[in-house]
Amino acid sequence: MDDVSFWLVVVAVIVFVGYAVLIEYYRKGWQRLAEYKAPADITPSAKVSIIIPARNEENTIGRCLQSIVNQRYPPELLQVIVIDDHSTDRTADIVTGFNNESIQLIALKDHVHDAINSYKKKAITTGVERATGDWILTTDADCEAGRDWISTLMAYQQETEAVLIAAPVKLQARNNLLGIFQSLDFLSLQGVTAASVSRRFHSMGNGANLCYSKEAFHAVNGFEGIDHIASGDDMLLMFKIAQQYPGKIHYLKSKDAIVTAKAADGWRAFWQQRIRWASKADKYEDKRVTRVLLLVYLLNILMLTLFVLSFFNPDLLLIVILFLFSKILLEFPFVNAVSSFFGERRLMKFFPLLQPLHIVYTVIAGWLGKFGRYQWKGRTVQ
């Protein structure tokens, strides 16, 4: 083994030790987070405004709204605001076709006259301006929720006095390679989200299932200061609120609060989505998130580099295999526990097999998120 390879292995071992500590921290954080069940005798009293940005969602917006109409929550305490983000399909017609007085449609084109970088943040801000509820729930137009979604969130808020609640999201994916791969990847992200928020380690969340007080949104001036960033309507806002309200950010680990989101249909859509997520990696003011992402990226790029070098130095191949096997053993208990909560343990038999693909995906998506462009909803963003 030459000197360069030797020192790469040494660095990889050091990084792996740090990564092992991190994953164990997340695993314990997930395990100690108690599963919540709302009391049966609680009486809802909070007025809630659900904000749904939608762009060309004619295939999903109907089911999304129907799942909200079916909620076991007093209709008089519920307002649904759909912000049509310049759709060119039947999205607006489907929304108005519900003929439900709780559902309102806002055309974003009436509020945006010049090109901007984050239409989704503008859509949410516009929705908050029209909100009559004290609590804002955000979800996506391709999501569906169980009948106790809102009542569980509000009961939990009442018990904890949280000002922001991150709640679970599950992917609805096809039973093929892409569907299984992105489901496992998403499950691990959900576990990290729950563990990090519950242990106050760093702020993570998903805008498909996020709840916060309207007062807190205004107290931090909404998306001011981050509205130029295309993505980050969830985590970047969470950090602003966490700074203003320390100890008031919670994660709701409850099956009744799970929102199901539609997975990417094809590999191209999947890559564009993940590059979009990665694009905000260097935008976090919460530098703990940045350090975690850097650690994860370093481990994956080191493993990939060692694998490439093994073609020229076969002695490295055994080391790469040992790293891969150790990574699988380290991550499996954590992801398995999360998948059990979401009812997806059937996917775990594919977990070891998909590890090499996950390493390559992490390196490429991270790189393109920093230096490349992506397309989202028909718009090109850099």
CATH of the domain at 56: 3.90.550.10
In a domain, residue 258? The reply is: yes
- Do 171 and 318 fall within a single domain? no
Question: pLDDT tens track of the chain, all 382 residues?
Answer: 677 788 899 999 999 999 999 999 999 999 999 999 999 888 899 999 999 999 999 999 999 999 999 999 999 999 999 999 999 999 999 999 988 889 999 999 998 877 777 889 999 999 999 999 999 999 999 999 999 999 999 999 999 999 999 999 999 988 999 999 999 999 999 999 999 998 888 778 899 999 999 999 999 999 988 877 767 778 889 999 999 999 999 999 999 999 999 999 899 889 888 888 777 666 667 778 888 999 999 999 999 999 999 999 888 999 999 999 999 999 999 999 999 999 999 999 999 999 999 999 999 988 887 766 666 666 666 5
Tell me, yes or no, whether 145 lies in a domain: yes
Q: Which of 25, 32, 23, 35 shows the shortest CA–CA distance to 335?
A: 23
Angstrom distance (rounded) from CA 176 to CA 193: 26
Reported pTM: 0.91
Flag whether 24 is in a domain.
yes
Q: Is residue 66 part of a domain?
A: yes
Domain count, the chain: 2
The phi and psi torsions of 110 (rounded to 5 degrees) equal -80, -10
The phi and psi torsions of 78 (rounded to 5 degrees) equal -125, 130
The answer to whether residues 17 and 49 belong to one domain is: no
Instruction: Say yes or no: 203 and 57 in one domain.
Output: yes
Q: Are residues 24 and 88 in the same domain?
A: no
**Whether 179 and 291 share a structural domain:** no
User: Is there a domain that residue 277 lies in?
Assistant: no
Would you give the distance in Å from CA 149 to the centre of its chain?
17
- Tell me which long-range contacts 12-17 makes (C-beta under 8 A, separation of at least 24): 12/299, 12/302, 12/303, 12/306, 12/323, 15/295, 15/298, 15/299, 15/302, 16/299, 16/323, 16/326, 16/327
One-letter amino acid of 146? G
Q: Of the candidates 233, 266, 299, which is a domain's last residue?
A: 266
Are 69 and 164 part of one and the same domain? Answer: yes
Among 219, 235, 266, residue at a domain's last position: 266
Range of the domain at 318: 3-31+286-381
The alpha carbon dihedral of 61, 81, 218, 117 has a sign of positive
Domain boundary among 266, 294, 323: 266
